[in-house]
Structure 1
């Protein structure tokens, strides 16, 4: 990378190359996946007495396509119209990859969830990400 990029102030280290609304849903999902996984790991590390193997198993259960799909289904009624639109674009995006551990519908809904998280990240809506992640984790912990 020839152009030197510098960290910005705040929690968004680099500005995206274009406004969040103009980024591909797959790009938003790419970033959203990372943001969500870090959020889940931070949540798990905040719990007492967890061993690394248990941390990994717990994180895997919360970040799987199946879990993300279920979380989106649970949260959808509470999303704003803008958030629903972003999720819809993520769901309809063609990723070009075939899911390994999920069916196609779960995979598309997981991509929609990740796209939403990426969009919220790039629009600086940290509190909203925290609300969504916390609600999603609590929902998944109540599942049998």
Structure 2
């Protein structure tokens, strides 16, 4: 079941201000992954065997870190605060394919996505994800 704006309508079991940043990052990771997959499927002529590679180029820790760096000047003070909390959150895991700084920035980006989702700021969420994907698509690394 989806809500009218396309997002699942399940509220958090606690007030937003009491959700730990790492939990916001957990849901943010899933929401961002879904947004990327929807974006890729909307593109004409994309073959199924290229979907995984294309998605990975947008959802990797390196990509999320670059997107956050691009978006930071566009964030409100409240959003910057959420990013700071996400960046400083202790995840308890070791990054596999990224350095620690990229991993922390990726976690901060996912935290922001989760925060905007639970704050019901879905238009802002779509705006930032759209800007981030557009930026990353136009700044492909060699």
Aligned residue among 124, 132, 136 for 1:140: 136
Question: So what's the TM-score if we normalise by structure 2?
Answer: 0.93
Unmatched runs of 5 consecutive residues or more in structure 2: none
Task: State the shift of 1:8 in Å.
Answer: 8.9
Q: What are the superposed Cα offsets for residues 49-95 of structure 1, whole Å, 9 maximum, x if unpaired?
A: 11112111000110000000000000000000000000100000000
Unmatched runs of 5 consecutive residues or more in structure 1: 1-6
Indicate the residue corresponding to 2:99 in structure 1. 103
Greater CA radius of gyration, 1 or 2?
1
Task: State the shift of 1:132 in Å.
Answer: 0.7
Indicate the residue corresponding to 1:56 in structure 2. 52
Aligned mates of 1:62, 1:104 — CA distance in 2: 18
The 5 A counterparts of 1:35-54 are 35-54=31-50
Aligned mates of 1:12, 1:54 — CA distance in 2: 27
Question: So what's the TM-score if we normalise by structure 1?
Answer: 0.92
Aligned mates of 2:93, 2:2 — CA distance in 1: 33
Asked if 2 retains the 8 angstrom alpha-carbon contact of 1:8 and 1:14, the reply is no
What SS does the aligned partner of 2:129 have?
Answer: helix
Aligned residue among 16, 20, 27 for 1:31: 27
Indicate the residue corresponding to 2:80 in structure 1. 84
Task: State the shift of 1:9 in Å.
Answer: 5.5
Query: 4+ runs of 1 displaced by more than 4 Å?
Result: 7-10
Q: What are the superposed Cα offsets for residues 24-56 of structure 1, whole Å, 9 maximum, x if unpaired?
A: 000000000000000000000000111112111
